Amino acid sequence: MDVYSKKLPIILIIILLGILVLQIINNDSGSMLIDPETCELYIKDSQLNFKQYLGEFDSKCLDFKNLNK
């Protein structure tokens, strides 16, 4: 395959898009979750089993907790 052929960029783009799709599918550690007790947002690292709190609160969760009191 010649470096200057028109097929090479198309093949490289397809390979790079495939790698990107695999990374998106396997990246579940970036999902934000809500702590049910404090309504604080956190990110859970699945490999280390560690919660990193973001210092932000979910307003819908806080409103719902205030209605239950």
- Residue 23: what pLDDT? 83
- Residue 54: what pLDDT? 87
Q: Give pTM, 2 decimals.
A: 0.47
- Residue 30: what pLDDT? 58
- Residue 31: what pLDDT? 67
Site of tokens 């390979």: 15
Rounded to whole angstroms, how far apart are CA atoms 29 and 58?
19
Residue 29: closest CA among 57, 61, 55, 51? 51
From first to last of the 69 residues of the chain, give the pLDDT tens digit: 666 788 888 999 999 999 999 887 776 555 678 888 888 998 887 777 788 888 888 888 888 877 766
